[in-house]
Amino acid sequence: MSDPMLDIRNLHKSFGALKATDNVSLDLHPGEIHALIGPNGAGKSTLIQQIAGSLTSDSGSVHLSGRDITGLSNVARARAGLGRTFQISSLAMEYTVLQNALLGALGRDGGVMRFIKPVMGRGDLKDHAMQALEQVGLADLAAKRTADLSHGQRRQLEVAVALTLEPSVFLMDEPMAGLGASGSKRMTGFLDGLRAKAPILLVEHDMDAVFALADRISVLVYGQIIATGTADEIKSDPIVREAYLGEEAAV
């Protein structure tokens, strides 16, 4: 097996007596979609924040493409190649769609301390941003204000900004949330193609999408990974059924 792109080893995080992340290890291989599922309050968001660097871990390590990024800030991790999307869209709402994508292109370019030439005159950045918008199907809305976008379009833009970074790993927190059936289907198709570019660690509640996409699934319950395996293995795992899927079915 090839070396993992993202390698998380023995992560811990406690808030007082609560063990939000309890000895979590998981990895992500090239070309793979690895889904992380679990009931509400299982610690998925905490884990994502620890991986992205917006929350420091008590112990454990995170390696990206073989490089130890445990001590790096979220900004440095983004620069190191971690492309993150949020559960709740996090965009510059006053900006146009294109400006949000340009911001990503600028982050990738690194030349932010430039004061004279208009950013709109930077053909290279603009092309890069437009390419990302085209991939998610937002090119026609480039001039629209982000605040005027629909919820689903914001989710797409969020993914487009992550694309402009050309990350080595995607970290996606519920990209299907609130998309509706058809939107969810389109996003599923898109992510399916995206894994060829960079592997995706996918936190998702939409089980149809998870089973359709994931090469491997890890189940997180009370901060611990109770099972990792293929969709079929997870579906038939009695512990998982009891802890999560069964519970879900009962609801």
Does position 104 interact with other proteins (CB under 8 A)? The reply is: yes
Whether 125 and 106 have beta carbons less than 8 Å apart is answered as: yes
Does position 111 interact with other proteins (CB under 8 A)? The reply is: yes
Q: Which is nearer to other proteins, 122 or 216 (CB)?
A: 122
Stretch that binds other proteins, among 7-15, 60-68, 91-99, 201-209 (CB under 8 A): 91-99
Q: Is 113 exposed, middle or buried (0-12, 13-18, 19+ CB in 10 A)?
A: exposed
Q: C-beta of 143: minimal distance to other proteins in Å?
A: 8
Q: C-beta of 169: minimal distance to other proteins in Å?
A: 14
Residue type present at position 63: H
C-alpha 180: how far from chain center? 19
Mapping DSSP onto H, E and C, the string for 20-78 reads: EEEEEEEEECCCCEEEEECCCCCCHHHHHHHHHCCCCCCEEEEEECCEECCCCCHHHHH
User: Which listed residue (44, 84, 154, 155) binds other proteins by CB under 8 A?
Assistant: 84
Pattern 215-234, other proteins, x by CB under 8 A: --------------------
Query: Rounded to whole angstroms, how far apart are CA atoms 176 and 174?
Result: 5
Task: Provide the pairing of β-strand 67-68 with 59-64.
Answer: antiparallel
Q: Which is nearer to other proteins, 1 or 115 (CB)?
A: 115
Query: Rounded to whole angstroms, how far apart are CA atoms 48 and 44?
Result: 6
Does position 100 interact with other proteins (CB under 8 A)? The reply is: yes
Footprint of other proteins on 165-204 (CB under 8 A): 165
Task: Return residues touching other proteins (CB under 8 A).
Answer: 52, 54, 73-76, 78-79, 84, 86, 90-96, 99-100, 102-104, 106-108, 110-120, 122, 125, 145, 161, 164-165
